[in-house]
Structure 1
Amino acid sequence: MDSITIALVLLLAVILSGTISRLLPLPVPLPLIQIALGAAITGITGDGVVLEPDIFFLLFLPPLLFLDGWRIPKEGLFRDKGVILELALGLVIFTVVGVGLLIHWMIPAMPLAVAFALAAIVSPTDPVAVSAIAARVPIPPRLMHILEGESLLNDASGLVCMRFAVAAAVTGAFSLTDAVGTFLWVAIGGIAIGVGVTWLIVRVKEIASRKLGEEPGAQILISLLIPFGAYLVAEHLHCSGILAAVAAGITMSYAELRGKVLGITRVRRNAVWDTVQFALNGIMFVLLGEQLPGIVSGAARVVTETGHVDPIWLIGYVIAINAALAALRFAWVWVSLHFTMFRAARRGQEIRKPHWKLLVATSLAGVRGAITLAGILTLPLFLDDGITPFPARDLAIFLAAGVIIFSLIAASVGLPFLLKDLELPPEPDHHQEEDTARIASAEAAIRMIEKLQHAMSEGRTDADLYGDVGTRLMELYRQRIDGRSKIGDEAEELRRMEEVDRRLRLAALRAERDEIFRLSRARKVSEEIARKLIREIDLAEARYTV
């Protein structure tokens, strides 16, 4: 198939996966359906996509990681920064050593350096896979924030460990000093480049918009190009393009707080990014499914090198590696938790020990995904001499793919059981923050109406008209202030009233829209007028459904 046909087939598979997921009687994770569709496409067409790892990294990972960094709640990220850094750095190294030794012990034919490389690439969790699981499993918000933060930061540590393990396998040499220095350059340089590129682009964009006006289409296109720019600059300077994309997204979220973008631009941009995220997430797992038949056949050819003639041992290896990953993750989380509790006790803080099920859920939630797939495919074909094949390459690729699929299944099956009826520490109540923000914004609106009303009506014969309109608008804002100022039972009653109001408004808006469509079909309203009115209703509906 040519490139255009392949792209269309992949997009069609993503669309079909959503439909199939809704038709199935049991909740099956969307990524697993997409993987199955990818394998089916290869079985029908007879050939899959030739996946170039560098192109895969460039096309898929920068925009998705950028968006995750942009939208991840910063409050949770900084509140649990200690736990996140322990998981993203310490756990990765702990996993590389432990799982690497296990793999070499199970498969002596796989050199220790290759085993460490495989362990390094399966150590990072994947933000895309975590988000896909969270869409179907009710993960507690704080745990979700920790998992997202961990998966955004552990990619660099895992990939750097893999880089040095591969270098040791190819050349037979390894330097701990060089490894530490390179890691610092890769991580710090990637973050600095992501921040710098985004800040520069945003500043230039703001200056151009202030002098020439803002074009929403151009603003959206710029936001789509920023992650690619940050990634390419970082990779050119031999830094982490992945961390550059994440840092660019986080910087973009702070740049947005300046409020320099038009509202219509934000509405359209969110719609575009939601579509990009949906399409790229799905295509990645479909591509994984397309690679599976070739990966399985390649692994089956080399499995005899392990001393086992039956390919069924491949499944045993995958299960053993996943069990080791979960066990090491559980041990690390347990030790980290008790160390944190010990420090809190010394500071005199109240300690609430979490249920053991939450610790097991944290271990199962370490899902692997696109980072693991793309990273393992970068294994070289030959050693340093250019003649000797890289040892057990096909087997390593199969085991990594098996870890991805098994971790998705384990999380999808185990998390609902572990989190069902589990008593969790109370999450912060943000109702007071929301009420405070709404009161402050309403007061600012009243001040602006008073100021503008006076300026517009001064010296005019129809000043009463401006006064009446301004008074009516200010009364709406004062009602908001009075309602949000209530506390206790009155506040709870107000929230119930708002829910009733929301449902009635949504029903009314849908009735409006149905009637306009009916008038348009009957040729009683022009298409242009109908489109304008429908857009107004859609925007109003979005206000009550977000």
Structure 2
Amino acid sequence: MGAIAIVLSMLLAVSVSSPVARATGWPAPLVQIALGAAIGFLGLPAIALDPEKFFLLFLPPLLFLDGWRIPKDELFRDAATVLRLALGLVLFTVLGMGLFIHWLLPAMPLSVAFALAAVISPTDPIAVSSVAARTPVPPRVMHILEGESLLNDASGLVCMRFAVAATLTGSFSLGQALLSFAWLALGGVAVGAALAWGVSRAERRATHWIGPDAGNYVLVTLLIPFGAYLLAEELHASGVLAAVAAGITMSFVSQPHGHGSTRVQRTAVWDMVQLVANGSIFVLLGQQLPPIVTAAGRTVHDTGHVAAAWLLLYVVAIVVGLAALRLAWVWVSLQAQSWRARRRGEEAAPIGVRLLLVVSLAGVRGAVTLAGVLTLPLALPGGAPFPGRDLAIAMAAGVILLSLLLATSALPRLLRGLELPPDTSERALEDRVRRAALRAAVQAIEAAQPEVAAGLADPGVAAEAAARMVMHYQLRMDSLRGDPEDAGQRGQVEEIEQRLRLVALRAEREAIERCGREMGLAELARRRLLHEIDLLEARYGT
């Protein structure tokens, strides 16, 4: 019962964290860490998960979902910037912070210092989004940060794998490492992409032969990241990259014309998986704090000091070092980008200090850092304890907490008052696509009308229904016409319409519940009517 009580308390903490975060204004990850620490200090034993099982349980679905949902056009547009941050910055951070950490903590072997540097190099987009939820982060900056986090998860964890292997074997070969890296990267991407493509093809054929099965389809998508990860690891490739590649591939090969209810179910299930997995990781981090604090005395003794306050100073030094390296890399990258633009005769956008600081301070560490550091082996091949493991976990936990606190206090101030120019070209293009879709709908109604009316005694019924549908689409097309200067007024009209729709839908729901019971409508029929209202309300917002 002890394990069940711990799991249930963790899930309760995840569910409570969201309203608490909204009420207090604090980011959800910080609230979850605090709740996890409260659970630990209440006396419930900390969960001791096997590192490999922990890695398999949490990371594949999160990486898969990030790869599936990230906007591909934005990712490809800023691919050069994303790659510089996700690959170049990670290697720069691993090298610089590895040497710095070993200098700062001589008791930690150099290979373990590189492993710690690798595991704290990836940023966490969920934590950044939570911190910046109430501030206007420029969309392009957020897309770059999301793309960076998607890829630097893989590159940072692969670097950690090499560092751990060097610790276990006591040797390191650059040539062998490059060959291994190539196989890990290419093999992982190939396995993930092939598995996602094959499963999608099989699912499409099964749907064609025996019909759609929404529940089974959603279950299969949940299994894909675990299958990609396990298959890649079995082939000694990167399971992390396999999960990412599978997610990216699914965004291209998943059925675009499937039933809408299937997509609604899939989105709801994956939203729940993301909420539970991310929240559980931060709650688990908080729950690990009591044993980390308890072991602080031994950790400090290992470093040759006598005061526990040295741990906090080490964490501050590491966070400052990470921020300095990131700031230097971002500044050099933006300067190089501006220089190349000027060479091509293009006008280079000015590099604002505020933007530079936002991109630099947005390097918040989170779930991947915790998951990675907890996968450090418990012992060496000979049975001796893995050197510096407790110290590495303490430093990683401190970096997560301090980076979250720093971003929480600094980012809102940097982003306050930032006015983003409206993207009228994007809005105009969106309206053109909407009008094309509406015209296609009208043409389809007119083409289908004779076929629908063929079996009717009174063809005028079909004509009347078609006319009503065409009028509906014509009204929607008329609402999209207008000059670009009227975009602000049209936005106000749309906002008012949305509020009125929500008022009407909620009134419909109350009437269905009240009248359905009074008139004796069957519960299943009442649920069906309410589900239709729910879908419309989800369409227009809550």
Q: TM-score, normalised by structure 1?
A: 0.95
Encode CA deviations 1:187-238: one digit per residue, 9 max, x unaligned.
1211111111011000000011011100111111111111111111111111
1:337 to 334, 337, 341: 334
Mapped contact 2:364–2:403 kept (Cα < 8 A): yes
- The letter for the 2-side match of 1:44 is L
Please give the alpha-carbon distance, in whole angstroms, between the structure 2 residues aligned to 1:399 and 1:459: 75
Mapped contact 1:484–1:491 kept (Cα < 8 A): no
Matched, 1:503 2:499: yes
1:305 to 291, 302, 305: 302
Encode CA deviations 1:156-179: one digit per residue, 9 max, x unaligned.
221222222223233321111111
Matched, 1:527 2:523: yes
Distance 1:523 1:276, change over 3 A: farther
The offset of 1:80, in angstroms, is 0.8
Mapped contact 2:108–2:387 kept (Cα < 8 A): yes
- The letter for the 2-side match of 1:185 is W
1:538 to 522, 530, 534: 534
Matched, 1:406 2:402: yes
2:475 alignment partner in structure 1: 479
Distance 1:536 1:381, change over 3 A: closer
1:346 alignment partner in structure 2: 343
The offset of 1:90, in angstroms, is 0.9
Mapped contact 2:93–2:117 kept (Cα < 8 A): yes
- Per mean C-alpha deviation after superposition, the further-off stretch among 519-528 and 377-386 is 519-528
Matched, 1:456 2:434: no
Matched, 1:53 2:58: no
1:93 alignment partner in structure 2: 91
2:388 to 392, 396, 402: 392
Mapped contact 1:206–1:260 kept (Cα < 8 A): no
- The letter for the 2-side match of 1:165 is A
Distance 1:390 1:55, change over 3 A: closer
The offset of 1:343, in angstroms, is 0.2
Matched, 1:469 2:471: no
Please give the alpha-carbon distance, in whole angstroms, between the structure 2 residues aligned to 1:447 and 1:152: 42
1:105 alignment partner in structure 2: 103
1:132 alignment partner in structure 2: 130
User: The residue matched to 1:45 in structure 2 has which SS?
Assistant: coil
Matched, 1:366 2:363: yes
- The letter for the 2-side match of 1:52 is D
2:372 to 361, 371, 375: 375
User: The residue matched to 2:377 in structure 1 has which SS?
Assistant: coil
Distance 1:22 1:131, change over 3 A: closer
Please give the alpha-carbon distance, in whole angstroms, between the structure 2 residues aligned to 1:454 and 1:390: 76
Please give the alpha-carbon distance, in whole angstroms, between the structure 1 residues aligned to 2:516 and 2:103: 72
2:427 alignment partner in structure 1: 431
Mapped contact 1:68–1:127 kept (Cα < 8 A): no
User: The residue matched to 2:540 in structure 1 has which SS?
Assistant: helix
2:26 to 25, 28, 36: 28
Please give the alpha-carbon distance, in whole angstroms, between the structure 2 residues aligned to 1:102 and 1:425: 42
- The letter for the 1-side match of 2:202 is V
Distance 1:235 1:211, change over 3 A: same
- Per mean C-alpha deviation after superposition, the further-off stretch among 50-59 and 330-339 is 50-59
Q: Percent identity?
A: 56
Matches within 5 A, 1:67-466: 67-256=65-254, 258-387=255-384, 389-422=385-418, 429-458=425-454, 460-466=456-462
The offset of 1:522, in angstroms, is 4.4
Mapped contact 2:132–2:411 kept (Cα < 8 A): no
The offset of 1:384, in angstroms, is 4.2
The offset of 1:460, in angstroms, is 4.3
Distance 1:101 1:491, change over 3 A: closer
Mapped contact 1:125–1:151 kept (Cα < 8 A): yes
2:10 alignment partner in structure 1: 10
Please give the alpha-carbon distance, in whole angstroms, between the structure 2 residues aligned to 1:183 and 1:148: 23
The offset of 1:496, in angstroms, is 3.0
Distance 1:63 1:384, change over 3 A: closer
- The letter for the 2-side match of 1:18 is S
The offset of 1:277, in angstroms, is 1.3
Mapped contact 1:483–1:491 kept (Cα < 8 A): no
Please give the alpha-carbon distance, in whole angstroms, between the structure 2 residues aligned to 1:7 and 1:104: 37
Mapped contact 1:89–1:154 kept (Cα < 8 A): yes
Q: Across the two proteins, how many residue pairs are aligned to each other?
A: 542
The offset of 1:493, in angstroms, is 3.8
Please give the alpha-carbon distance, in whole angstroms, between the structure 1 residues aligned to 2:78 and 2:26: 31
Mapped contact 1:354–1:424 kept (Cα < 8 A): no
Mapped contact 2:376–2:389 kept (Cα < 8 A): yes
Distance 1:97 1:428, change over 3 A: farther
The offset of 1:426, in angstroms, is 6.5
Encode CA deviations 1:415-469: one digit per residue, 9 max, x unaligned.
0011112356765742122211211111111121111111122374311111111
The offset of 1:101, in angstroms, is 1.5
The offset of 1:117, in angstroms, is 1.5
Mapped contact 1:100–1:112 kept (Cα < 8 A): yes
Please give the alpha-carbon distance, in whole angstroms, between the structure 2 residues aligned to 1:5 and 1:330: 44
Distance 1:519 1:459, change over 3 A: closer
User: The residue matched to 1:61 in structure 2 has which SS?
Assistant: helix
Please give the alpha-carbon distance, in whole angstroms, between the structure 1 residues aligned to 2:488 and 2:23: 38
- The letter for the 2-side match of 1:7 is V
Distance 1:259 1:164, change over 3 A: closer
- The letter for the 1-side match of 2:120 is V
Mapped contact 1:120–1:159 kept (Cα < 8 A): yes
User: The residue matched to 2:218 in structure 1 has which SS?
Assistant: helix
Mapped contact 2:315–2:395 kept (Cα < 8 A): yes
Mapped contact 2:51–2:376 kept (Cα < 8 A): no
User: The residue matched to 1:230 in structure 2 has which SS?
Assistant: helix
Please give the alpha-carbon distance, in whole angstroms, between the structure 1 residues aligned to 2:133 and 2:273: 17
Mapped contact 1:14–1:282 kept (Cα < 8 A): yes
- The letter for the 1-side match of 2:104 is M
Please give the alpha-carbon distance, in whole angstroms, between the structure 2 residues aligned to 1:140 and 1:114: 37
- Per mean C-alpha deviation after superposition, the further-off stretch among 282-291 and 13-22 is 13-22
- The letter for the 1-side match of 2:334 is L
Q: TM-score, normalised by structure 2?
A: 0.95
Mapped contact 2:192–2:242 kept (Cα < 8 A): yes
- The letter for the 1-side match of 2:37 is A
The offset of 1:358, in angstroms, is 1.2
The offset of 1:540, in angstroms, is 1.5
Mapped contact 2:54–2:375 kept (Cα < 8 A): no
- Aligned alpha-carbon RMSD (Å): 1.9
Query: What runs of 5+ residues in structure 2 fail to find an aligned partner?
Result: none
Distance 1:212 1:57, change over 3 A: same
